Structure formats: structure tokens, C-alpha cells
Structure 1
Amino acid sequence: MNRLKLIKIICASAAVLSGFAIAAPAQTPGMALLDGLTPGEWTLKERGSREPGQKVCLGNPELLLQIQHGSASCTRYVIENSPKKLRVSYKCGSAGQGVTEIKQESSALVQIHTQGIRNNAPFSVNVEGRRTGSC
């Protein structure tokens, strides 16, 4: 095979392969930490508080990402994503924004730090989330 023909084949192959690479859709990574949590009733208690805490039925663990913004429609950006630590930034339009970091101690115990703006006021909260039963 002559050199010119070989170069053309290599260039054509590179063009085809790069076209496939460009055309491949970007995939949003799953959030491994949330996938490892046990569904059920969870109690969210602010660290250092004497209050009993808020009970939530954790069917969708993404609820833990924006505990200060509830069910507001928010866009999210994953900053850090590992099986034991998750950090997410989110924006909820006029309702505010925040950054939440969740550290998993077990499938039934997490530490949550969230800070941001809600209703034009700043917040910074440390919460322990503990599975307390079924719902």
C-alpha cells in the first residue's frame, strides 16, 4: 500500500472517530451517595438543637439537597460526587440559591451542611439526617 493511500485512510478513520466522539450525548452522572441511602422515615435535626427534628418520608433522597427550599423547582450543578460525599450547588430563581454538602456515615446516617439565600435572607445550617423507621 503506498504512503499517500495509507495517510488518506488514517485521516478518514480519524474524522469518523472524532465525529462519533462529538456526537455522543453528555450524560449526567448519578449521585452515588443518594443511591446508597435507605428509603423510609428520616429525622432531620439541626446540630446542637434541643428540638426533636423534622420527620420526612424519604422516597426521593434528592429532597436532602435543598432542605431550605423544599419542593421549589431548582437547577442543580454537581460540584463533588463520590459514594461518601456529595456537594451540589443549586438555584431556585427568585426563591434563592444554595450549596449543600452531604457526608454519608452509613446508609441510615448523614451529615448535611447547607448554606445560601432563601427569601432574600442568608442561611447556614448543619443538620444530622438519621433513618428512624418506615413510612
Structure 2
Amino acid sequence: MDRLLRTFPGLSPRRLSRLAVAGLFALLVFAGPTLAAQRPSLAMLDMLQPGQWEVRDRDLAGGRSRICIESGRRLIQIRHMREACRSFTVQDTADAVTVHYTCPGNGYGQTSVRYESAQLVQLETQGIAQGLPFNFRAEVRRVGTCTS
């Protein structure tokens, strides 16, 4: 503190204390709400129930498949399910997430998931898998527990 007071001769210890308090107050006022509002990344996906989910392709009449997921996070890479990919979160709100991911040597994708309930989401994904483009929109609904 002595060094600071020597550097700024017109600065008294009392004035320095006031500046410190004002700075702390400004930090709490402006950064406090942001820090308090933070939640785990992609928390919406963690609200989805594990189990068997039916994927209904919205662009293909009658196009349906079933997948077993232990976490809603698995829906992000629905076209690269078994790949180890790097991801970047583009949007993360209480009812929607968008994630861009890159799978070295096997393409990339960007997936948006919109939450309707713990058993129903809307999914849109597009990218490149195995050298081919994909663009996929689906309703994804939990239909029960996973079968062995």
C-alpha cells in the first residue's frame, strides 16, 4: 500500500479505501447477476430422461428409428454417435442448445435441440459425415426403457 501511495502522491489512504470499496461495489452490481445466473453448460440436455427414444424424421414420411441414450447430450452428435469430437457451444438457454462439433478425420456438424419436455425435443442437425453432407430435422420422443 505504501508503494501505491508513493506512486500517486495525491492519493490518501482514506481515498484509496473509498476507491477500493467503490470498485468492489461496481463489480458486485455488474458482474454479480451474471455470476449468480451461471449454470452447468448444456444443463437443458441433462433434464432429458435416459432410455429408449424414437427419432421421427420430419422431412421423410415414415422415417423412424430408435436409439438408447443414457444422457440427452448424446443427441448432439446423432450423426457421429461413436466419434470422439471437439465441440463448441453456440447457444445455451433453458429451452434450447446449439452445439458445433468437429470430428477429426470424419467431418463435423452443428446440432440444435429445442426442449419441449423431459420426454420430447425437436432436433435439427447438419454437417458432413463420412465425406457426405447431411441435413436432418426430427422430433425425438422418449418411448420407454432401453432393451438389452
Same fold (TM over 0.5): yes
- Identity rate of aligned residues, in percent? 32
Q: Distance in 2 between matches of 1:132 and 1:72?
A: 25
How far the C-alpha of 1:7 sits from its partner, in A, is: 6.2
Residue 90 of structure 2 is aligned to residue 84 of structure 1: no
In angstroms, what is the RMSD of aligned CA positions? 2.6
The correspondence of residues 28-107 of structure 1 with structure 2, limited to 5 A, is 29-51=40-62, 53-107=64-118
Give the corresponding residue for 1:17. none
Deviations 1:2-47 (A, max 9, x none): 9444567789998xxxxxxxxxxxx994212202112211111211
> Higher Cα Rg: structure 1 or 2?
2
Q: Which amino acid aligns with 2:123?
A: I
After superposition, the C-alpha distances for 1:80-101 in whole angstroms (9 at most, x for unaligned) are 0012110000000110001100
- Cα distance, 1:56 vs. partner? 1.4
Instruction: With a CA cutoff of 8 Å and minimum separation of 6, indicate the structure with the bigger relative contact order.
Output: 1
Deviation at 1:106, TM superposition (A): 1.2
Where does 1:95-134 land on structure 2 (aligned, <5 Å)? 95-134=106-145
For this pair of structures, how many residues does the alignment match?
A: 123
Q: Distance in 1 between matches of 2:133 and 2:87?
A: 19
Q: Determine the C-alpha separation between the residues in 2 that align with 1:59 and 1:116.
A: 24
Q: Letter of the aligned partner of 2:100 in structure 1? A: S
Q: Which runs of 5+ in 2 are unaligned?
A: 1-9, 24-37
TM-score w.r.t. the length of structure 1 is 0.77
**Is the 2:126–2:133 contact (alpha carbons within 8 Å) kept by the matching residues of 1?**
yes
Structure 1 gap ranges (5+): 15-26
- Give the 3 Å change call, closer, same or farther, for CA 47–131 of structure 1 in structure 2: same
CA distance, structure 2, for counterparts of residue 3 and residue 62 of structure 1: 54
